[in-house]
């Protein structure tokens, strides 16, 4: 049986096992996907065990997406550009690192996005993945809250993507022109905070879609504000499904059963 799984901390809440195991079963692949580490376990200990187990492939989430890089043998272009890995494949004993987060996000957006004005809030790992895979036919502008790290984020995005990072205060004047608003920050992850106020969300045009990459059972405060102002919303689960499908394709060299993977999340009541 081929072994697959996820490393990260915390990971007990992860939906990846249910979507990947559903896909393995649907494709009649003799494999199993599990959570691969315990809380507080060091990355060196995890890597030693996975190599000893001859793991076939695994996903990587916070806080190991950068920490895993010294332990892989090579990087795909996607992972090298954003300097982070979320998928590792064992190819004849050689570990190759990939990033499917960005491509998975863009594939998760419904409809034609050609020519749309898209505002992305955030400058961390998720934001970088999204920027790196951004289609050339959309107009993406990136904003982030002013903080002691703002300048370093600004320099990093310019170095990696020739992308200009603007302060969040610059977003309000252009809200009426935004077709899709994306929150790629952790604001609202564990509380009822929102990256934008209800009044600010209300300045978006009626057709605008608000995407919050945070995934949990209840809508975030930002999503609630969007619903209240009559806008469409999307949480983080579609991105999870699509990036997981891309990981599946990398590991198994065949198309992923995306419908099955999405249904596995839906059946969980999320």
Judge contact between 89 and 156, C-beta under 8 A: no
Separation of alpha carbons 116 and 135, rounded Å = 11
Catalytic annotation present for 89: no
Binding residue numbers for NADP(+)? 122-126, 213, 236
Judge contact between 210 and 238, C-beta under 8 A: no
Separation of alpha carbons 180 and 42, rounded Å = 39
Structure token pair of residue 264:
């596995």
Separation of alpha carbons 143 and 168, rounded Å = 5
What does DSSP assign to residue 172? G
Binding residue numbers for shikimate? 14-16, 61, 86, 101, 215, 243
Give the three-state DSSP class for 180: strand
The residue annotated as part of the active site, out of 3, 65, 89, 128, is: 65
Structure token pair of residue 198:
């209800």
Catalytic site positions = 65
């Amino acid at each position: 049986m081929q072994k697959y799984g996820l490393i990260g901390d915390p990971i007990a809440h992860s939906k990846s096992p249910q979507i990947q195991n559903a896909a393995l079963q649907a494709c009649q692949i003799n494999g199993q996907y599990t959570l691969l580490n315990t809380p507080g376990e060091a990355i060196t200990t995890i890597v030693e065990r996975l190599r000893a187990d001859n793991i076939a492939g695994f996903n990587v989430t916070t806080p190991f997406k950068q920490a895993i890089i010294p332990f892989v043998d090579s990087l795909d272009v996607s992972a090298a550009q954003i300097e982070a890995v979320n998928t590792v494949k064992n190819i004849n004993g050689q570990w190759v690192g990939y990033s499917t987060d960005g491509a998975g996000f863009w594939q998760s957006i419904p409809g034609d996005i050609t020519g749309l004005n898209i505002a992305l809030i955030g400058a961390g790992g998720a934001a970088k993945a999204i920027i790196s895979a951004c289609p050339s036919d959309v107009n993406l502008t990136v904003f982030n809250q002013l903080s002691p790290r703002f300048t370093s984020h600004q320099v990093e995005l310019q170095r990696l993507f020739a992308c200009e990072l603007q302060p969040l205060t610059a977003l309000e004047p252009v809200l009426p022109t935004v077709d899709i608003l994306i929150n790629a920050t952790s604001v609202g992850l564990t509380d009822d905070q929102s990256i934008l106020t209800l009044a600010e969300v209300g300045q978006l045009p009626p057709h605008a879609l608000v995407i919050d990459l945070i995934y949990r059972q209840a809508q975030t405060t930002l999503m609630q504000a969007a619903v209240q102002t009559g806008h469409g919303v999307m949480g983080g689960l579609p991105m999870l499904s699509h990036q997981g499908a891309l990981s599946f394709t990398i590991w198994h060299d065949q198309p992923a059963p995306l419908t099955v993977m999405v249904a596995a999340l839906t059946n969980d009541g999320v």
